[in-house]
Chains A and B, each alone.
Chain A
Amino acid sequence: MEYIGEHLLPGQFGHLFIVLSLVASLIATFSYFKSAQSKNDIDAAYWKKLARIAFITEVISVFAIFSILFYIISNHLFEYKYAWQHSSRSLEVKYLLACFWEGQEGSFLLWSVWHCVLGLILIKTSKKWEAPVMTVVSLMQFALATMIAGIYIFGWKMGTNPFILLRDSGVLDNAPALHINGDVTMGLRQDYMLSIKDGNDLNPLLQNYWMVIHPPVLFMGFASTIVPFAFVIASLWKKNFGEWTKPALPWALFSAAVFGVGIMMGAMWAYESLTFGGYWAWDPVENASLVPWLILISGIHTLLIYKHSGHSLRATHLFLILTFGFVLYSTFLTRSGILGETSVHAFTDLGMNMQLLIFLLMFVLPALVLFIYRYKEIPTIHKEESTSSREFWMFIGSLVFFLSALVIIGKTSIPVVNKILGTKIAPPEKAEFSYNQIMVFISIIIAVLTAVTQYLKYKSTSTKVFLKKILIPFVIAAIIAILVLAIGNVNYEKETFGFMVAIWMAVACSIFTIVANASYIWLGLKGKLKLSGGSISHVGFGMVLLGILISSSNKEVLSNNIGGIPAPLDKNEDPRENLTLVKGLTVDMGKYSLTYEGDSSHPKKQLSYYKVHFKSKDGKEEFVLTPNSFVNYKGNEGLMSNPDARHYWNHDIFTYITSISNPDKSKDTTTFRPKDLKPGDTLFYSSGFIIYENLNKKEDLPVDLFGKDGSLYEANLKVHSKSGSLYSIAPKLAIAKGNEMAVPDTVLAESIVLQLEKVNQDKSITLGIKESNAVMDYITLKAYKFPYIRLLWFGVVITAIGIIISMVRRIRLNRENVSQS
């Protein structure tokens, strides 16, 4: 049957290219394998030529699939499930790419596209390594192609196809209006497309520019780890154990830079747009991508050790195998749904667990088996490194990095352990702290090693020279560290004192890293920036550490609910991070007073913007933040909020909406009507009366909030309604640091608001009463202050620049070597 309004051609081409890419990548793998195995040059050249044709066909297919899918999304062809599921007509053009990789299929495709780009560069540059290296890359391409194949083999579904039609996907199966005669057992109506007017849209939380750029960068990071891995495989396969390190090093550096930046972009996104209250939460998704990066850094350092001293070649093989292995493992973790209950991210079981597991094992197992098999053949130097040598301490550093990665992945894999052993271990109460308490010690060790190791020479170093050189940076760092710790207010009192001391040590050590590496550029390298990629990236790394330590220990909750409810009076563990602002009523929040001024709406979406006016109490600052929220969006209930922030050079202020009044648009225009009352007096209102019982003065007020002569009065009133209900209500009046501040109380059922306006010596009061039929317009928000967060972002950029400088230098050195020989 033909349906009206469908565009089937793009999908047919899509299917064609998917099949073509499957076949082409398989042929490429086989031909490259044959070429690498060939005994004579003619055979090798023949197979290589065939393999190249196949791989280029694969590249064309993947780009074609990518373009067709993008065409479908950007033209809103909702007859395709992918477009329907991930996009909508109201979606801004800039987010079309974001919805491209919102889905599994799109993100696998993105990964595949990067392999194509990398593969083409490898074909161009890797010369005699091409055949074995590209065998691995082509096999990976085949594996990725199966992920989007969506074909059944012996009843087993392989992959999910992005070109599946909405009507074939099962989504419409129980929508009677779309079926003939309104009967779901009948076929779809010929004109069913008339009812599919719009798509499901991109998840509002993903409608953010970071979603456009973070996934491509991160996936480039993922994708590029295959190159060092493929070189390792080539080394083990062709028993050519040392030579591969030269071409592999720039690739490893490239991967480290892109991968690292990709991870931190995710952190920045979390910080800026997701309302997690921070940039890093040791969430499984974050951990799973951090772990391979950490191991890659270990691998790069052992590669350098090998280059300069001949040591650590075996470890290098292992680290680079595991880097790629953990990239695949993270894919398995995050897409198999196994993490389901431990992560804030949504994991959906795609029904592809088996396939993902095979994907993981088909690369990791042979690689490890080959590594163990060849282990004895990998050349090694039997003489121990001297403890005064650079390579010795670099190796220890790499090992610590590797170990930290194992600790992280071990903890992240608890759901997997639960699944296998049937245990029911859950993350601890302080999940983040359980990581931090270990990582703080690791960062101390790493920071010290990073600081001093450059001052050591390869082979051996004379103690005198070393001490002489390190003395100046050490003294400078010590002075800065003392200053920072003394006036920087780095206090992390949430946990134990021991942990705080560890944080202080880590702060001092990361300052040492920054100073020592910055000085090394002059002391050791005489200011030659071209040579100092390593030092620059270490400076950046030190800044990252310092930024993390300072920003997380000084994070402040601004919306501590001191205005609304006298929270400081009862020592309670409650977070109380939410603050309610009634429209037009100024509320106190730390050094600011806040007024919710009103809201406005997006013309096309259920998106509302809330204007919150901040005014600092010293009168120096006044600004408006406009956090927004999707309200009851597309079948969701409640809010999906995006924060708004004000950035300062040394801190950021963030606020986001956590709840709103019912979107009842009737406006509240009434004002408070003042009334003088003595204890025992009665006050009538439209549907009952209020008795003023007594006045309490609260004692033991915290001096830092209320000042020396501060006081807090609480009037106890009973509200008797006509209906017979009785309510107790207690409006408050605070006199803090000379300012009067009323804290009204409400009886919602009676639509009355009472405000204590004046308190006299004889316990008589002036009570403001407001009756309003309109439900009050209010918002609840959270606000945070993050200090020195820029140090972290800046550090990431410096690290990446340093790594790129190293990479460029290594590529040049390789070229010079080639032209010399």
Chain B
Amino acid sequence: MKKIHIILLVFVAGAIAMLISLLNTGSTYETIADAKAMPGKFVHVAVRLDKTKPVEFDAKKDPNYLSFYAIGVENPDQAMKVVYRNGEIPNLMISERLVLKGKYENEKFECKDVQTKCPSKYKEEMKPPQNVSTGQATEKSIDQSAMGNPAATTSEATKY
């Protein structure tokens, strides 16, 4: 066997491996409407928490059950119920955006995993000063708006 043959073999094996894994990459970023249109398919959906509807969680009843209502980030008229069966989600209430991973099934979104995106102080700074959101800073909110912007931007951690 010539070296070149083995090299080719290795590359073919690699290509096949890559293909298999790409075939398994059966997930895409979708909107709420699209997620509803393909029930049972594992998708990623970027949403906002609908703060007008209740967030259900009672650790004494079932610490694994949490449900809330979500609306689309770009299409606020799209809405769905979300069920998350892995406990409480930190920063859910103050999140500005959520990336839900799961399937739409039986009239609700069965969420396997969620990422919370919180308003980040880093992003705010990048805007030129005149664009910094105005109006919400009252005397009282000084502590929040100037001193205590949320440090973490996702549900987990900042590594660097």
Contact = CB atoms under 8 A, between A and B. Distances in A.
Contacts of B14: 403, 406-407
Given A438-B20, A639-B90, 10 more contacts: A170-B124, A170-B132, A174-B136, A341-B99, A426-B43, A578-B63, A578-B87, A638-B93, A661-B59, A746-B60
A175 B136 CA distance: 9
A107 interface: yes
Contacts of B151: 200-201, 203-204, 634-636
Interface of A: 85, 101-102, 104, 107, 169-178, 182, 184, 195-196, 198, 200-201, 203-206, 215, 266, 274-276, 285, 334-335, 341, 343-351, 384-385, 387, 392, 395-396, 399-400, 403, 406-407, 410-411, 414, 418, 424-430, 434-435, 437-438, 441, 561, 564-565, 574-580, 582, 634-640, 658-659, 661, 746, 748, 776, 778, 780, 782
B61 interface: yes
Interface string B23-51: 01111111000000000001110100000
Interface in B50-89: 57-64, 85-89
State which size class the interface on B falls in: 35 or more
B91 A426 contact: no
B25 A175 contact: no
Contact of A407 (B18, B42, B137, B154): B18
Contact of B146 (A172, A411, A576, A579): A172
Contacts, number: 250
Contact of A659 (B44, B46, B59, B129): B59
Given A174-B137, A392-B3, A635-B148, A425 B27 contact: yes
B21 A407 contact: yes
A348 B28 contact: no
Interface in B1-31: 1-3, 6-7, 10-11, 14, 17-18, 20-21, 24-30
A215 B42 contact: no
Contacts of A658: 63, 87-88
Contacts of B89: 638
17 contacts: A171-B124, A171-B125, A200-B121, A335-B160, A344-B154, A344-B155, A345-B154, A384-B2, A414-B25, A429-B26, A429-B101, A565-B64, A575-B64, A576-B85, A634-B148, A637-B92, A659-B57
Interface of B: 1-3, 6-7, 10-11, 14, 17-18, 20-21, 24-30, 42-44, 46, 57-64, 85-94, 99, 101, 112, 115, 118, 120-127, 129, 132-134, 136-139, 142, 144-160
A104 B64 CA distance: 37
A387 B1 contact: yes
Contacts of A385: 3
Contacts of A205: 152, 156-158
A637 B94 contact: yes
Interface centre among A184, A345, A579, A635 (most CB of B within 10 A): A635
A350 B112 CA distance: 30
Contact of A341 (B25, B115, B142): B115
Most chain-A CB neighbours within 10 Å: which of B60, B91, B139, B144?
B60
B142 A348 contact: no
A349 B123 contact: yes
A171 B87 CA distance: 34
Contacts of B17: 407, 438, 441
Contact of A578 (B25, B64, B101): B64
Contacts of B6: 396
Given A102-B160, A414-B25, A580 B148 contact: no
A637 B90 contact: yes
